Chain A
Amino acid sequence: MYRILSKTPLNPTVTQMEIEAPLVANKALPGQFIILRVNEEGERIPLTVAGVDPARGAVKIIFQIVGATTELLNRRNEGEYIQDFVGPLGVPTHTEGIKKVCIVGGGVGCAIAMPVAQAFHEKGAEVTSIIGFRSKDLLILEDEFRACSDRLIVMTDDGSYARHGNVTVPLKEMLEAGETFDLIVTIGPLIMMKFVTLTAKPFGVPVTVSMNPIMIDGTGMCGGCRLTLVRDGKRITKFACVDGPDFNGYEVDFDEAMSRGRMYFDFERHAHEETCNLFKDA
């Protein structure tokens, strides 16, 4: 069992928790993820590590309440326990040799983008961060990004806060104005990462994307997290859990990944509704 050290709502649908898991806290690096189960019968879900405090044995996770399991997790409080917590899994984000980086985060993906931005900042890179949200209510981690970014651009889809529009707009402006980056790292919805990649393509800037497919064991056993890279015209199968979750954006078959991500859409929607109803009755 793993104790919840702290719980902080970041917005109405996004919660931050610190979980006591000293072995994971000692090892986790930006870009890596954990897998947890809330209770004995629970499903395994992957969540990216949003930060660690090894002295307290704490691992920070930030999750959006989107389904039955995240709903259950959000019902747990500080001092309570969750059943299983394993990691760190996946390969950390490569930060070596990058002097100038642009971090593009969308929605709850900003929770993963933030420690990556911090890592680049600590390595001495010049960090530009573009973070986007649907609206002002859903904004998270603005102060944290400001602290580790040389330049921060906040976007909202509906214009309710900061600049109106999606994250590709300022990225395109910068690139067209002749700005150069050694690397763009983008983390968020698949459709956003696809368009960030397409925006960067004419300018030849390398793009790293962080994939978050359906996963079970997360250790290279089940193969459920597979995705396709297209390299030199050849299609290559990779596994996000051991080969990723970071991949070269130009190689990822995003359309396939989006389709696979919806495999259990009906099941998940139904399960979430049932879980919510369960709590309503109680």
Chain B
Amino acid sequence: MALNPKKHEMPTQAPAVRARNFNEVALGYTAEIAVEEAKRCLNCKNRPCVTGCPVNVNIPDFIMRIKAGDFEGAYRIINETSSLPAVCGRVCPQETQCESKCSMGVRFEPVGIGRLERFVADWHNANATEKAVPPAPNGHRVAIVGSGPSGLTCAGDLAKKGYKVSVFEALHTAGGVLVYGIPEFRLPKAIVAKEVETLKDLGVDVQTNVVIGKTLTVDELFGMGYEAVFIGSGAGLPNFMNIPGESLKGVYSANEFLTRSNLMKAYLDKPVTPIMKGGHVAVVGGGNVAMDAARTALRLGAEHVYIVYRRSMDELPARREEVEHAMEEGIDFRLLNNPVEILGYSNPENPRDPKNGFVTGMRCIKMALGEPDAKGRRRPVPIPDSEFTLDVDTVIMAIGTSPNPLIKDTTEGLSVNSHGGIIVNENGLTSRENVWAGGDAVTGAATVISAMGAGKIAAKAIDEALSAK
């Protein structure tokens, strides 16, 4: 039988339809498509895909289970190494990880590993009746700071080994960036809640509304009897460009805009938390967060949404799939453009004019690519006399974050680098005894799966350290 050279297409909502709703864009494989796609896997001996996965999921094994129609068996294999399969199947950049190593990919399209993982996790969530059972306790207690991808992964791995794990979350809902940052149309919140429930079934204790560094300190956690602490507190304060007009009404950080829409549900018809909807929107930046913000703005009812990015499409850091989805939905990419000033309304006759202080436009300058910088990316340089104005009434800055100071400032002996990221060794151990860290708190803004990989490495190291006691 000839192998299908192409991955089975992911069924999706039509662009014109999905651009106006918050339902998930990708609809997922059916069982029939999943089995057909699984047949494309060569089950090769050297398993290069596994090395491409930060948490080393036994990919060929689970795909062979799908091929055999044993979807629950496939789930069990994934779940041995990944605590959040329904999340990873949706938001991992598989094209640069497992799928980039796939032997099929040498001549054809690689196997749709991410789509298959998602299928298996969704099948399990819809059909499995058995709850996870906590293993026999081993008597050790571990505290996890933050319930984002690194914290949940670390918690899950340790709980499976019998540790009594408490997760401390600053916000009112567990999930970290999975609930406040990544929009519903890419990762439905019910899926995150389900994954958190699975961890609770394993015996993990999740305490919301506890800010480590404020409500409790890392040292107090040790005083409460925890023997190890993992810090997965995530990225921090949003960066701004330091150009005039960034304090005008209608200028958001992507963090704020996405938090209002996702966590606080401002996208609902009758929201309790307000957000500016409609009009013309410019999102500054070219990462995944910028794509999420732009597509959220569109779904909130914007007439026109621009992505303003200072380099070209080749340097745009967002996932290809997200960029393609955004383009299909009608996001207007203004590449090689850089904002220089945000313009606001000002009525000199009437200081009480309610329109005063709201955004009316954004001055931009055209850019050209110059010499490569230290990282090899070509440095954008402004083209003289090329300024122009985009007529917008909302501007969203999606240009990264700087680490949060709360834990660093209250944990003596915790070393951080010049960017404020927590310094760790190859096992995630910090400069403090029995304190591990991982995810964006260490690396600065990165991906969900790299944070999960860090949580996994730390869980292994914590287990080795505590079981040797």
Within 8 Å by CB of A224, from B215, B256, B404, lies B256
Q: B210 and A23: CB pair below 8 A?
A: yes
The interface-forming segment of A8-16, A149-157, A173-181, A212-220 is A212-220
Q: B264 and A216: CB pair below 8 A?
A: yes
How would residues 200 to 244 of chain A score, 1 for a CB under 8 Å from any chain B CB and 0 otherwise?
A: 000000000000000011011111101110000000010100100
B100 at interface, CB cutoff 8 A: no
A88 at interface, CB cutoff 8 A: yes
Bound Cα distance from A263 to B172, whole angstroms: 25
Bound Cα distance from A28 to B79, whole angstroms: 42
Bound Cα distance from A127 to B259, whole angstroms: 42
Q: For residues 131 through 168 of chain A, which have their beta carbon under 8 Å from a beta carbon of chain B?
A: none
Chain A min CB distance to B338 (Å): 19
Within 8 Å by CB of B242, from A88, A224, A237, A263, lies A237
B14 at interface, CB cutoff 8 A: no
Check A220/B404 contact, CB under 8 A, given A37-B172, A86-B211: yes
- Which of A37, A41, A219, A266 counts the most B-chain CB atoms under 10 A from its CB? A219
Within 8 Å by CB of A242, from B172, B215, B259, B405, lies B405
B313 at interface, CB cutoff 8 A: no
Q: A221 and B264: CB pair below 8 A?
A: no
Bound Cα distance from A19 to B252, whole angstroms: 32
Chain B residues with Cβ under 8 A from A277's Cβ? Answer: none
How would residues 240 to 264 of chain B score, 1 for a CB under 8 Å from any chain A CB and 0 otherwise?
A: 1010001101101101100110011
Chain B residues with Cβ under 8 A from A262's Cβ? Answer: 249, 354, 357
| Nearest residue, chain A, Cβ from B397 | A223
How would residues 44 to 71 of chain A score, 1 for a CB under 8 Å from any chain B CB and 0 otherwise?
A: 1000000000000000000000001100
Q: A87 and B264: CB pair below 8 A?
A: no
Q: A259 and B356: CB pair below 8 A?
A: yes
B171 at interface, CB cutoff 8 A: yes
Q: For residues 214 through 245 of chain B, which have their beta carbon under 8 Å from a beta carbon of chain A?
A: 214-216, 234-238, 240, 242
Chain A residues with Cβ under 8 A from B235's Cβ? Answer: 221
Q: A23 and B215: CB pair below 8 A?
A: yes
Within 8 Å by CB of A86, from B180, B210, B246, lies B210
Q: For residues 265 through 317 of chain B, which have their beta carbon under 8 Å from a beta carbon of chain A?
A: 265, 272-274
Q: What is the total of A-B residue contacts with beta carbons within 8 Å?
A: 112
B466 at interface, CB cutoff 8 A: no
Check A271/B171 contact, CB under 8 A, given A43-B264, A88-B214, A242-B237: no
Per DSSP, chain A at the interface is mixed
Bound Cα distance from A102 to B264, whole angstroms: 40
Chain B min CB distance to A169 (Å): 24
B209 at interface, CB cutoff 8 A: yes
Chain B residues with Cβ under 8 A from A84's Cβ? Answer: 172, 208-209
Q: A221 and B216: CB pair below 8 A?
A: no
Q: A223 and B215: CB pair below 8 A?
A: no
Chain B min CB distance to A49 (Å): 12
A111 at interface, CB cutoff 8 A: no
How would residues 403 to 422 of chain B score, 1 for a CB under 8 Å from any chain A CB and 0 otherwise?
A: 01110000000000000000
Q: A242 and B209: CB pair below 8 A?
A: no
B170 at interface, CB cutoff 8 A: yes
Within 8 Å by CB of B259, from A86, A221, A260, lies A221
A83 at interface, CB cutoff 8 A: yes
A256 at interface, CB cutoff 8 A: yes
A279 at interface, CB cutoff 8 A: no
A268 at interface, CB cutoff 8 A: yes
Q: B209 and A237: CB pair below 8 A?
A: no
Q: A219 and B214: CB pair below 8 A?
A: yes
Q: B406 and A222: CB pair below 8 A?
A: no
Check A86/B172 contact, CB under 8 A, given A216-B264, A222-B253, A260-B249: yes
A123 at interface, CB cutoff 8 A: no
- Which of A84, A222, A239, A266 counts the most B-chain CB atoms under 10 A from its CB? A222
Chain A residues with Cβ under 8 A from B250's Cβ? Answer: 263
Q: B237 and A223: CB pair below 8 A?
A: yes
Chain B min CB distance to A263 (Å): 4
Q: A260 and B247: CB pair below 8 A?
A: yes
| Nearest residue, chain A, Cβ from B173 | A84
Chain B residues with Cβ under 8 A from A253's Cβ? Answer: 247
How would residues 10 to 30 of chain B score, 1 for a CB under 8 Å from any chain A CB and 0 otherwise?
A: 000000000000000000000
Chain A residues with Cβ under 8 A from B240's Cβ? Answer: 223, 226, 237
Within 8 Å by CB of B272, from A42, A86, A226, A266, lies A42
Q: A27 and B236: CB pair below 8 A?
A: no
Chain A min CB distance to B390 (Å): 21
Bound Cα distance from A221 to B262, whole angstroms: 14
Chain A residues with Cβ under 8 A from B247's Cβ? Answer: 226-228, 237, 253, 256, 260
Chain B residues with Cβ under 8 A from A23's Cβ? Answer: 210, 215-216
Q: A220 and B236: CB pair below 8 A?
A: yes
Chain B min CB distance to A80 (Å): 18
A252 at interface, CB cutoff 8 A: no
Q: B236 and A221: CB pair below 8 A?
A: yes
Bound Cα distance from A51 to B236, whole angstroms: 29
Bound Cα distance from A259 to B236, whole angstroms: 26
Q: A87 and B238: CB pair below 8 A?
A: no
Within 8 Å by CB of B237, from A27, A43, A83, A220, lies A220
Chain A min CB distance to B215 (Å): 5
Chain A residues with Cβ under 8 A from B246's Cβ? Answer: 237
- Which of A221, A222, A223, A266 counts the most B-chain CB atoms under 10 A from its CB? A221
Bound Cα distance from A233 to B250, whole angstroms: 25
Q: B170 and A86: CB pair below 8 A?
A: yes
Chain B min CB distance to A35 (Å): 9
| Nearest residue, chain B, Cβ from A32 | B214
| Nearest residue, chain A, Cβ from B273 | A43
Bound Cα distance from A217 to B214, whole angstroms: 13
Q: A89 and B236: CB pair below 8 A?
A: no
Chain A residues with Cβ under 8 A from B249's Cβ? Answer: 259-260, 262-263
4 shortest interchain CB distances as A-B pairs: A259-B357, A223-B253, A223-B238, A86-B209
Can you list 22 contacts pairing A with B, beta carbon distance less than 8 Å? A23-B216, A41-B272, A43-B272, A44-B172, A86-B209, A86-B210, A89-B211, A216-B260, A217-B171, A219-B214, A220-B236, A224-B256, A227-B247, A242-B237, A242-B405, A260-B249, A260-B357, A262-B249, A262-B354, A262-B357, A268-B274, A271-B272
Report which B residues bind A (CB closer than 8 A): 170-172, 180, 208-211, 214-216, 234-238, 240, 242, 246-247, 249-250, 252-253, 255-256, 259-260, 263-265, 272-274, 354, 356-357, 404-406
Report which A residues bind B (CB closer than 8 A): 23-24, 27, 37, 41-44, 68-69, 83-89, 216-217, 219-224, 226-228, 237, 239, 242, 253, 256, 259-260, 262-268, 271
